[in-house]
């Protein structure tokens, strides 16, 4: 069972992100004003159509109120999707080697986002900000030197407690914890 849980959490953490919108309609709304319910959904989708690539629905009954819930799951356009991912807090439900893989992929996505930008201080500040969004429990420091800039190299350091290490070393540290392995 544990491996199945790992598989499902992995899927959650690595699949294409969605944005969810809940519509709660009473039974009376659905029976007496289905057109109005449909208008609410259509108006919402029309308002956000430039941000949505595709969408689908899920539905269930609220266990306490027995009210039908309709969840609109939207697949955002790529420009928006690249900024979305499931919370890193859930990574602790995975083996640490898998957590390291997920974080590596997220770092790669951030660096790819800036790959056509110049290696300038403002660009690196934006990268640090994005990296700190992923690594909420550590400090990211830009130690890029003029020599690094000339070579097109970025030099970001992770500071945790009193230790400083490269991003690669930090990912290896996470993997070395051998959680659930």
- Tokens representing 59 are 């539905």
Confidence of residue 80 (pLDDT cuts 50, 70, 90): confident
Confidence of residue 89 (pLDDT cuts 50, 70, 90): confident
Angle at the Cα of 116 from the Cα atoms of 12 and 14, rounded to 5 degrees: 5
Q: Looking at the structure, tell me whether residues 54 and 134 fall in a common domain.
A: no
Q: Looking at the structure, tell me whether residues 77 and 93 fall in a common domain.
A: no
Range(s) of the domain holding residue 50: 18-81
Contact status, residue 67 vs residue 24, Cβ threshold 8 Å: yes
| pLDDT exceeds cutoff 90 at 88 | no
| pLDDT exceeds cutoff 90 at 148 | no
d(C-alpha 77, C-alpha 17), whole Å: 10
Statement: the pTM of the whole predicted model exceeds 0.85:
no
Task: Give how far the C-alpha of residue 117 lies from the chain's centroid of Cα atoms, to the nearest Å.
Answer: 22
In a domain, 130, yes or no: yes
Q: Percent of the chain having pLDDT more than 90? A: 61
Q: Looking at the structure, tell me whether residues 109 and 141 fall in a common domain.
A: yes
Tens-place pLDDT, residues 154-179: 999 999 888 999 999 999 999 999 99
The confidence score (pLDDT) of residue 125 equals: 94
| Other CB atoms within 10 Å distance of the CB of residue 43 | 10
């Amino acid at each position: 069972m544990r491996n199945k849980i790992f598989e499902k959490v992995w899927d959650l953490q690595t699949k294409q992100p969605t944005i969810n919108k809940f519509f709660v309609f009473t039974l009376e709304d659905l029976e007496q004003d289905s057109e109005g319910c449909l208008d609410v959904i259509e108006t919402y989708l029309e308002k956000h159509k430039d941000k949505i690539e595709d969408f689908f629905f899920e539905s269930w009954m609220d266990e306490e109120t027995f009210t039908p819930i309709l969840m609109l799951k939207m697949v955002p356009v790529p420009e928006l999707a690249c900024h979305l991912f499931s919370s890193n807090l859930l990574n602790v439900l995975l083996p640490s080697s898998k957590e390291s893989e997920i974080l590596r992929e997220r770092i790669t996505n951030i660096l790819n986002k800036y790959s056509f930008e110049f290696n300038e201080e403002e660009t690196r500040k934006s990268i640090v900000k994005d990296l700190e969004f992923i690594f909420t429990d550590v400090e990211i420091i830009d130690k890029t030197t003029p020599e690094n800039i000339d070579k097109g190299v970025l030099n970001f350091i992770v500071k945790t407690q009193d230790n400083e290490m490269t991003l690669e070393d930090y990912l290896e540290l996470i993997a070395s914890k051998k959680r659930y392995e």
